[in-house]
């Protein structure tokens, strides 16, 4: 039979493993919108009908930027839709810069 201490230790080891794996995360993707000014035939967003209403609110985008910063993410890919027409792009880029996330791409 497992003692309470052995059981606690097992759980701590599981958390430590998860924390170790999380600490190795260096990159992330953030989908900021579904809108796009193009209509590529192969588009993976076609089913969203490029819905303008499905644009990420600025407070949520800033919270997620902070989350990526807390994880130690150093490179971030902004995707959509078309992220360059995201109406809150500049404040999000400023926040990422403050968090030292400076390797930013958009696809
Ligand atoms: S989201 Fe990308 S793939 Fe889709 S229409 Fe716009 S540019 Fe083309």
- What pLDDT score does 9 carry? 66
Report the predicted TM-score, pTM, of the whole model to 2 decimal places: 0.77
At 3 the three-state DSSP class reads coil
The whole-number mean pLDDT for each consecutive block of 10 residues of the chain, a chain of 107 residues, reads: 58 64 81 96 93 95 93 93 96 96 90
Ligand 1: which residue has its CA nearest to atom 7? 38
Pocket probe mutation, ligand 1, options 32, 36, 55, 78, max atoms within 8 Å of Cβ: 36
Q: How crowded is the C-beta side of 32, counted as CA atoms within 13 Å?
A: 28
Taking the CA of residue 80 as reference, the ligand 1 atom at the shortest distance is: 1
Q: Is 83 in the pocket of ligand 1 (CB under 6 A)?
A: no
- What pLDDT score does 18 carry? 65
SS3 assignment for 30-82: EECCCCCCCCCCCCCCHHHCCCCCCCCCHHHHHHHHHHHHHHCCCEEEEECCC
Q: Is 82 in the pocket of ligand 1 (CB under 6 A)?
A: yes
């Amino acid at each position: 039979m497992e003692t309470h201490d052995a059981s606690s230790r097992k759980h701590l080891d599981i958390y430590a493993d998860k924390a170790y794996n999380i600490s190795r995360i260096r990159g992330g993707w953030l989908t900021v919108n579904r809108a796009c000014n193009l209509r590529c035939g192969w588009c993976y967003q076609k089913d969203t009908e490029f819905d303008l209403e499905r644009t990420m609110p600025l407070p949520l985008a800033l919270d997620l930027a902070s989350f990526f910063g807390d994880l130690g993410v150093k490179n971030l890919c902004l995707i959509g839709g078309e992220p360059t027409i995201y109406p809150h792009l500049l404040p999000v880029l400023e926040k990422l810069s403050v968090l030292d996330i400076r390797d930013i791409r958009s696809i």
